[in-house]
Amino acid sequence: MKNRKKKETKVLKSKCRSILPLLFDYACRTCELSKTQHELAREHLKSCPECSIAAKNMQSVVGILRQASNTAPARLTDDRRQRIMKTCVLRH
């Protein structure tokens, strides 16, 4: 039974890792995802509470930033986007 849980956890984490690069664009609706990527992210978030919380955190941060500025947020470099995602994921 314990081995099964470990295996399920490992698979879930693998799925989470594969979705992380899409999470910011999906959560913040940047229109940079293909239809397939959008659908993949949406389906994963339905079944993963941890990633769903991370996506909501990202939406909150971007919402606050948009309210603080009259201009649209600048496009983020991949490096900056990854650092923001890691910060949001670590908070939950």
Tell me the pLDDT tens digit for each residue of 4-23: 545 544 555 777 888 888 88
CA nearest neighbour of 51 among 42, 62, 64, 60: 42
Question: In the predicted model, is pLDDT for residue 26 greater than 90?
Answer: no
Q: Which long-range contacts (CB under 8 A, 24 or more apart) does 76-81 make?
A: 76/24, 81/24
At 73 the pLDDT is 60
At residue 61, the pLDDT reads 87
pLDDT tens string 40-76: 999 999 999 989 998 899 889 888 887 776 665 667 7
Looking at residue 8, its pLDDT comes to 46
- Please report the pLDDT score of residue 64 as a whole number: 84
Q: What is the pLDDT of residue 67?
A: 79
pTM metric for this prediction: 0.57
Higher-confidence residue of 11 and 89: namely: 89
